[in-house]
Amino acid sequence: MQAFKYIIAVCGALLMTSCSTNIDYVVHGYGDSDEPETIIEYVEVEVEPDAEIWIDSFTQVGAFDEIDILWVIDKSCSMNAHTASLLDGVEAMMNNLPIDVNWRLKMITAGGYITQTTTFPLTRGDTIQDAVDMLNALPSDGYERGFDAVKEYIQNDAYAQTWLRHDASLLVLFVSDEEEQSTMTVNDFIVWYENLRKGSYMASIVNVETADSICTWAPYGNMIGARYMEATDYFAGNIIDICEEDWGTAVEEATNQIEPYEDYMLTHLPYEGTIVVFEDGIPFSHWYYNKLDNKIYFNVIPIEGSLIEIGYDVKEYNYITNHTADLGVNNSSASP
């Protein structure tokens, strides 16, 4: 991936600098062809001695007029403890979807071959009571086959064919307190889902790894939604700890991924002078940083489909985050 090689080369240049100063550095990468070549870019940045580099990234989405939303919910009995949080999350999404977007929201269970309900999706003007009624109407289901459930519903459910709009964008949000257990591999599901719509988005509310969890008990083994998280990471979606008390705020962030980014909250607190921004591997200068909310704001909105990478020296780490970037490695892009 061209821009990935580009930004990592930048990090290498920064890491080799041992003093706090302004420097010019050279980037090596790939041009328009598949053959390696040297691309020389001179960008003046300030570096901090001994600081570690972090890279946040996202792929800019396009504006759209319609979106279909599927909440794929584990209906096993252990999920009853999360009912209130789930409804808070659904309500937050209904209240925060863009006012100029025609949306439809449907809940289905995570059972791969169960008969889903035929209630019409929630739309603008519906209330949280309508959402409660839809949730209560879902059949009991002890399986955790979210991938199978989505594929079966979209491809074979007769009622789904009456309301799903194949020219609309699609957002699937998985909710489960156990690992995904479908027959298909994660990669097979990703390939199938990616080719469904022009805009395909994903989020997951699951048990995260023990080290990242805020649960009062330690999730382990088959309780951790690793397969859900792997698929969601591929689509640069939000991963929400199921033990979060406020799903509403987290779901609002997941909802934001279906709108073009006009700003971006950094994962960690940066040394301001070290921030660099790239659009498809090219230095991007139309931004400013606001330390009050730790966000990058874009004076010029990045173009649809472009890969935006934001590198900086970390001043202070935030260990509880929904971002998926990593030190020196870009793993939050929706591109393979």
Radius of gyration of the chain (CA): 21
Q: Exposed, middle or buried, 228 (CB in 10 Å: 0-12/13-18/19+)?
A: buried
In this prediction, the residues of the chain whose per-residue pLDDT falls under 50 are 1-31, 36, 38, 40, 320-336
Ramachandran sector of residue 125 (left: φ over 0; alpha: ψ -120 to 50; beta: rest): left
pLDDT, residue 8, reads 40
106 forms beta bridges with 70
Question: Whole-angstrom Cα distance, residue 333 to residue 94?
Answer: 26
pLDDT, residue 257, reads 64
Domains and CATH numbers, the chain: 2-60+266-316 (no CATH), 66-256 (3.40.50.410)
Question: Whole-angstrom Cα distance, residue 116 to residue 118?
Answer: 7
Residue located via tokens 């949730």: 135
C-beta neighbour count of 268 within 10 angstroms: 20
Q: Which two tokens stand for residue 75?
A: 């209906």
The whole model's pTM is what? 0.65
Cα within 13 Å of Cα(225), Cβ side:
28
| 8 Å CB contact between 43 and 25 | yes
Q: Report helix, strand or coil for 275.
A: coil
Largest Cα–Cα separation, the chain: 65
Alpha-helix residue ranges (DSSP H) falling in 17-145: 83-96, 128-137
Q: Which two tokens stand for residue 163?
A: 């309301």
Question: Whole-angstrom Cα distance, residue 180 to residue 193?
Answer: 16
Q: List the Cα angle 296/249/97 in 5-degree steps.
A: 80
pLDDT, residue 108, reads 94
| 8 Å CB contact between 247 and 47 | no
pLDDT, residue 247, reads 84
Q: Which two tokens stand for residue 333?
A: 């892009």
Question: Whole-angstrom Cα distance, residue 206 to residue 230?
Answer: 12
Q: Report helix, strand or coil for 316.
A: strand
